[in-house]
Amino acid sequence: MANSTQSKKRARQNEARFAVNKARRSRIRTYLRKVEEAIETGNKDAASAALKAAQPELMRGVSKGVYHKNTAARKVSRLAARVKALS
């Protein structure tokens, strides 16, 4: 349990950060799920449009510190390959 004033403040900050990051992660997962669903249906136009929307969202997560750069790059790469394979 936090005792000092500084550790109490740090605990409050961590809670706020956690909430923001959780919302960001959830938002990114939603975009990724839309790409997955478009791939499942086999609609290449919808899948590429969904990927185009998901990519900047993922990279924004990287710049905000939610995801590591390589993780996001790997996700984008794998999704792009799957979308390309639809034709």
Residue range 18-76, pLDDT digits in tens: 999 999 999 999 999 999 999 999 999 999 999 999 999 999 999 999 999 999 999 99
Q: Where are the domains of the chain?
A: 5-84
**Distance in angstroms (rounded) separating the CA atoms of residues 58 and 64:** 10
Whether residue 67 contacts residue 61, with contact meaning beta carbons closer than 8 Å, is answered with: yes
Note the pTM of the prediction, 2 decimals. Answer: 0.86
CATH number for the domain formed by residue range(s) 5-84: 1.20.58.110
